[in-house]
């Protein structure tokens, strides 16, 4: 099997500093009671890389390895309170977003107050089982207000299809469409592809 080509990607200087020195990172996402995703998984990753993780909870879920049983959104006022609490004491070197759901417009407003902070967007658009997590107008908010100000967006194949409106396309085509929508860098996660091999696809404006 040929050796995959390494992407010609240069990490921003802020990312290099973060890898060398402990930083405060925020995750804005839903709480996963099973611990396999959401805030819990993000905080474990932050800690594994030696960083201090802070969280802003957008929703509380009842879920386990079998699926998602219930989701309850956190009120906009409590989301804003969490943001302000961290903003005044634990400012982030980088922000990562996950499941935003009904909070997408509130989060978009808050992100506008930190335009220089690197943003990693994992656009969680649908639970493993259940209806979409964003209504059409909320999906449009994600496209128009959050996607263009990301540093990196990391959709899986179904999410890339929803974001681009292309029901069936190659990872390269999805990435190109997301770049045209304003994302500066895209990582398409290939876990939903058929077959036994999972391949991720990276692209940015320079590749």
Query: Per-residue pLDDT tens for 127-160?
Result: 665 667 888 999 999 999 999 999 999 999 989 9
**What pTM value is reported for the model?**
0.85
| pLDDT number for residue 6 | 43
Question: Do residues 179 and 120 share a domain?
Answer: no
SS3 readout for 4-50: CCCCCCCCCHHHHHHHHCCCEEEEEEEEECCCCCHHHHHHHHHHHCC
Q: How far is CA 112 from the centre of its chain?
A: 16
Question: Do residues 56 and 158 share a domain?
Answer: no
Is residue 142 situated within a structural domain? no
Is residue 180 situated within a structural domain? yes
| CA dist 45 → 32, 33, 41 (Å) | 15, 17, 6
Contact 175, 142 (CB under 8 A): no
Residues in the chain: 207
Question: Do residues 125 and 175 share a domain?
Answer: no
Question: Do residues 36 and 100 share a domain?
Answer: yes
* CATH classification of the domain holding 192: 3.40.1620
Q: What is the DSSP letter of 55?
A: E
Q: What is the mean pLDDT of residues 171-199?
A: 83
The parent domain of residue 159 ranges over 151-207
């Amino acid at each position: 099997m040929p050796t995959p080509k390494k992407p010609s990607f240069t990490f921003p200087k802020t990312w290099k500093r973060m890898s060398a020195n402990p930083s405060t990172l925020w995750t804005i996402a839903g709480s996963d009671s099973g611990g396999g995703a959401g805030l819990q998984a993000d905080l474990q990753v932050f800690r594994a890389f030696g960083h201090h993780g802070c969280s802003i909870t957008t929703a509380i879920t009842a879920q386990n390895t079998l699926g998602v049983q219930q989701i309850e959104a956190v009120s906009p006022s409590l989301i804003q309170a969490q943001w302000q609490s961290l903003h005044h004491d634990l400012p982030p070197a980088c922000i990562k977003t996950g499941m935003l759901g009904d909070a997408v417009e509130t989060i978009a407003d808050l992100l506008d107050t930190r335009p220089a902070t690197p943003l990693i967007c994992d656009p969680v658009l649908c639970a493993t089982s259940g209806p979409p997590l964003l209504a059409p107008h909320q999906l449009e908010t994600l496209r128009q207000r959050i996607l263009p100000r990301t540093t990196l967006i990391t959709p899986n194949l179904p999410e890339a299809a929803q974001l681009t409106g292309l029901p069936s396309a190659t990872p390269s085509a999805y990435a190109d469409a997301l770049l045209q929508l304003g994302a500066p860098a895209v990582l398409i996660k290939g876990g939903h592809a058929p077959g036994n091999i999972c391949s991720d696809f990276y692209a940015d404006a320079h590749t």
